[in-house]
Amino acid sequence: MALTGLPCPTTGGVRSLLAMLRGQWHEAFLYNPFTPVFLLLLLGSLYRVFRCLRQGKSVLLPPWLGWAWLIALALAWIAKFVIGPQYW
């Protein structure tokens, strides 16, 4: 954000997670509504990586997971603009 003045799709993710842990759901949503989605994608990606490593296979995530990341990041970016700069 410092370079362009625009937020990245994950801006507010840590603040959102901390607000969720405090039970402040509305505030968590405003900081970044896609934090739960990103957490699920991260856990799924890590699971796949560790499974490949454990089985001695090359680490390669399936295309659907890459598309899921891409779509989630695009939607999160749109959401950041809709919510507005007060929560960037």
Greatest C-alpha distance within the chain:
47
DSSP secondary structure letter of residue 57: -
Instruction: Give the model's pLDDT for residue 1.
Output: 58
Tokens 């603040």, located at residue: 15
Chain segment 10-69, per-residue pLDDT in tens: 888 999 999 999 999 999 999 999 999 999 999 999 999 999 999 999 999 999 999 999
Domain regions of the chain by residue span: 13-87
- Quick check: 2 pLDDT over 70? no
Instruction: Give the model's pLDDT for residue 11.
Output: 87
Residues 6+ apart with CB under 8 A from 52: 58, 59, 60
Instruction: Give the model's pLDDT for residue 27.
Output: 94
Per-residue tokens: 71: 């779509």
C-beta separation of 1 from 10 below 8 A: no
